[in-house]
A = this chain, B = another copy of it.
Amino acid sequence: MNCEVIAVGTELLLGQIVDTNSSWIGEQLATAGIDSHHQVKVGDNFERMRTVLNHALERSDSVIMCGGLGPTQDDITRDVIAAAVGVELVRRHDLVDRISSVFGGRGRPMPENNLRQADVPEGAEVLPVMPGTAPGFKVEAGGKAVYAVPGVPWEMQQMVEQCVLPDLKQRAGITAVIKSRTLRTWGDSESGLAEKLHDEIGRLDETGECTIAFLASGMEGLKVRLTAKAPNEAAADEILAAEERIVRGVIGDDVVFGVDDQTMEFAVLDALRSRGWTLGLAESLTGGLIGARLTAVPGASDVFRGGLISYAGEVKFDLLDVPEGPVVSEEAVTAMARGAARLLEANCAIAVTGVAGPDPLDGEEPGTVWMATLVDGVVEANRVKFPFDRERTRQFTTVSVLNNLRIRVLAGR
């Protein structure tokens, strides 16, 4: 079984938007054991879309068409698929109701145009998952399936995960299970980890039951992905669990901050929660980024008290009792951590001050950062000089200081 992906949108051809959708779909297909030999971008043009779809139906077993399901005149994926399989579009009244109710919920009137989204090719099966106002659907064409999903990534992803992939796997009769587990690490380099795992990778090459791959993912950490193929879920899980123990033993438990979707902020909140501790922040350089990431995690309020974004010098001096003087310094960051814990009545605190750039500050170069953690009344501060631009400096500071706190909380001091 193979599946071709057609990404629709003139803006993709013009490079105004990078087509990340077909990459994401390609990754999901590969993980599910389905080949994808061709992925095509085509503009919002009826004839070209139809030709590309017909061509895909000749050479591939199934097709996912992504985009062109919106409400405007440009959005013609519905029309193209109907023409390719030789049926008419029909207006589905159940979809009219669903789309109207989405608009009702937002308190906005529904423009007449949006009714076009209730049109689907005759005989199409509407996908049961509809996160936005664009319904997805499936059409059968000579024993091959054509799936239409919206181009908005979060809408598309839910539909592909919950509807398209299970359907494709069933059609392909795929029973072998391929499962992955990703260990997310912080604090070691890719070549460092590869060197440590060299012998283990050699051993796996021989047994063939599992593979190890590295994926540098910026502030999401350096990912170590274990992939196992087995006759069933339970057997795959067993292989992955055993391999995870081996890898953690080799690279060290402290380096692994999370598994799969567990972010650094999740790990920090989890560690704090397990001790019944609370957290307050004093952010200067990062301007709220640390708080924003922590509060992206549902349930953060158990642990996270709040923070002070002390951007202006006076805010540091007046509210956090930072002594007058250079604000990118060990004294300042230490006072900020103590001030945050006191003001926000928290057991633990994080403080960050530094020079984001592009200009120097207090005689320090851009990229210079002081970060501190407070645990059990004790502040530990360290200075880092990042070689990055403004935004990467802020982001790497965020993850680094969260990791510092994670290690201290796990150690209990």
Interchain nearest-CB distance for A260 vs B (Å): 12
B292 touches A292 (CB 8 A): yes
Q: Flag whether A41 is at the interface (Cβ < 8 A).
A: yes
Q: Choose among B17, B48, B152, B312 the residue that contacts A215 (Cβ–Cβ < 8 A).
A: B17
A43 touches B37 (CB 8 A): yes
B52 touches A38 (CB 8 A): yes
Q: Bound complex: CA of A72 vs CA of B191, how far in Å? A: 7
Q: Flag whether A86 is at the interface (Cβ < 8 A).
A: no
A41 touches B22 (CB 8 A): yes
B215 touches A11 (CB 8 A): yes
Q: From DSSP, what is the main secondary structure of chain A's interface residues?
A: mixed
Which 6 pairs across A and B sit closest by C-beta, in order of nearness? A287-B295, A288-B291, A15-B27, A288-B288, A111-B191, A307-B309
Q: Mark each residue of chain A from 285 to 301: 1 if its CB lies under 8 Å from any CB of chain B, else 0.
A: 01111111011101011
Q: Flag whether A387 is at the interface (Cβ < 8 A).
A: yes
Q: Bound complex: CA of A23 vs CA of B18, how far in Å? A: 6
Which chain B residues lie closer than 8 Å to A358 at the CB level? Answer: 298
Given contacts A41-B39, A306-B308, A309-B281, are A357 and B298 in contact (CB under 8 A)? yes
Interchain nearest-CB distance for A226 vs B (Å): 13
Q: Flag whether A190 is at the interface (Cβ < 8 A).
A: yes
A residues 101-118 near B (Cβ < 8 Å) are 102, 105-108, 111, 113-114
A306 touches B300 (CB 8 A): no
Interchain nearest-CB distance for A13 vs B (Å): 5
Which chain B residues lie closer than 8 Å to A295 at the CB level? Answer: 286-289, 309, 311, 356, 394
Q: Choose among B73, B107, B214 the residue that contacts A385 (Cβ–Cβ < 8 A).
A: B107
